[in-house]
Amino acid sequence: MEDSDTNAILPGGEDSSQDNYKSRRNLCLTAPPYSCPFSVSVEPVLFLSMFSLALQMPLCTQYLWDRISEDLGYNGTKTGGCNNSSGPPDPLEKEVETMTAHWNLYINLGGFFVSLFSATLFGSWSDCAGRRPVLILPSLGLAVQAAVYLVVLYLKLPVAWFLLGRFCSSLTGDFNTILAGCFAYVADTSDRVSRTFRVAILEACIGVAGMFASIIGGQWRRAQGYINPFWLVLATSLASALYAYLFVPESVVPDPGARLLTTKHHRAVVHLYSTPGQGGRRLKLWLYSLCFFIVVTVHFGSRDLYVLYELSAPLCWGPELIGYGSAVQHLTYLSSLAGLRAMQHCLEDSWVAIVGLASNMCGLVVISVANTTALLFTGYGLGFLFMASTPVLRSKLSKLVDPSEQGALFASVACVEGLCSLVSNGVFNSLYPATLYIMKGFPFLFGAVLLLLPAGIIGTLRCQQRRTENAESSGTSPEC
């Protein structure tokens, strides 16, 4: 593992303060209401929350497609529109695609600003109040969102009511706050040597949950429609909140006097990025955050378009194939975890991240030209290491701050992820209909080109770090 970033900004005097903080934290852990006979952490919370989210997202897109198709009088199966790939494009199908992409944009943007504020607030607040509240409250918010969606499905309300459910979830921090709480919890309970792999395990939980949800969702929706799967979305969100309340022990010392509604928490986030530190800490925080922003933006943007890409001609996938396709995408979280673990034996973390980015770029390029099912699955397969870069970036960011600032840091990361959601929806969901008649897969090609920038930044920072280390030890500059 690479400890040089941390060592450069946390010399000997500060290490002792970190040890005191950790000792005090470990001695004062708050026990949950019920003890568990085995060691527990936050992985089940993230697994259940991600299962709920991954089950819901493709179903929402397909429901929007079906409702808009019904309103416009489009039926590809009856008219042969989607299956008639040899003829000219059906203008009505393109209108359905465009409106579905736009409604995806509206729904995701609907709660963005609230989520951006609340995720930053809750994440930094957890440094004082503890991690468990920021795991419980957003899970309850996701449950409320699922309940609103169920009402829309039962009463066949206009799809604009989905905005209300999105707002309710964003008000309590949304899924980004659960991510912030889980990653901060792992940073609390791991050392610098094992942190990258512990973070990768969390991201693998995201992938496994998404894989199971995708398989179940596609088959279930085909057999019984939309309502029953959304009941499972509601149940898993409630189960996540209940597990965090009953079984997850607190990892920091809660301050009974910690207030939530204060500007102190947002100022703590600003302080991280505005205060100079030794070893170029501030510059590294900004650069690694920029890399994280670009990588996650491409992930979010391409993920939002996969279902639309699969539904329309010439692929014309049904619910079952869509479920399998989403499962393969999420399976790459496990392959990325295995690849990261294997590569750490022979490569430094920075080069592991670059290999992951190269895998992602290759997959996106193939997907951009995929016009058959086999070629599209080939593109998904080439991206088998696409999630190896984000654990490295999260770990590097975590190692650049003091242990008492982990909540503020991952609150800022949640803020970056919220911004990623805004930018990815604004760019990719607008780019897709705009380039539909020119090159259907152009947004995926655009994403592959964007990933060249973080690969260059990570490689440059690592080369500069190596030169500095060699200059300090032997006075010579290494070749890079």
Query: For residues 56 and 146, is the Cβ–Cβ distance under 8 A?
Result: yes
Among 426, 416, 434, smallest CA distance to 108 is for 426
**Which portions of the chain are predicted below pLDDT 50?**
1, 3-28, 37-38, 77-81, 84-85, 477-480
Reported residue count of the chain is 480
Q: How far is the C-alpha of 140 from the C-alpha of 135, rounded, in Å?
A: 9
Q: How far is the C-alpha of 218 from the C-alpha of 225, rounded, in Å?
A: 10
User: Cis before residue 314, ω within 30 degrees of 0?
Assistant: yes
Query: For residues 67 and 159, is the Cβ–Cβ distance under 8 A?
Result: yes
Query: For residues 411 and 180, is the Cβ–Cβ distance under 8 A?
Result: yes
* DSSP helix, strand, coil percent of the chain (3-state; round to 5): 80, 0, 20
Q: Tell me, what's the pLDDT at 459?
A: 92
Structure tokens at 340: 């990261």
Burial of 364 (C-beta count, 10 Å sphere; 0-12/13-18/19+): buried
Query: For residues 281 and 400, is the Cβ–Cβ distance under 8 A?
Result: yes
Structure tokens at 315: 């692929």
Q: Tell me, what's the pLDDT at 82?
A: 59
Residue ranges of the alpha helices (H) in 73-90? 76-79
Q: Tell me, what's the pLDDT at 109?
A: 74
Q: Tell me, what's the pLDDT at 303?
A: 83
Q: How far is the C-alpha of 337 from the C-alpha of 309, rounded, in Å?
A: 27
DSSP 29: P
Burial of 419 (C-beta count, 10 Å sphere; 0-12/13-18/19+): middle
Query: For residues 425 and 300, is the Cβ–Cβ distance under 8 A?
Result: yes
**What domains lie within the chain, and their CATH numbers?**
39-254+264-471 (1.20.1250.20)
CB atoms closer than 10 angstroms to residue 433: 18
Residue 70: which H helix or E strand, with range?
helix 43-72
Q: Tell me, what's the pLDDT at 103?
A: 84
Query: For residues 94 and 324, is the Cβ–Cβ distance under 8 A?
Result: no
Q: Which residues contact residue 435 at a Cβ distance below 8 angstroms, ignoring those fewer than 6 apart?
A: 442, 443
**CA end-to-end distance (rounded Å), the chain:** 19
Structure tokens at 470: 């060699």
Structure tokens at 264: 């102190």
pLDDT tens sequence across 294-326: 999 999 888 878 888 888 788 888 877 887 887
Query: For residues 83 and 77, is the Cβ–Cβ distance under 8 A?
Result: yes
Q: How far is the C-alpha of 253 from the C-alpha of 82, rounded, in Å?
A: 58
DSSP 437: T
pLDDT tens sequence across 349-398: 899 999 999 999 999 999 999 888 899 999 999 998 988 899 999 989 88
Its pTM stands at 0.74
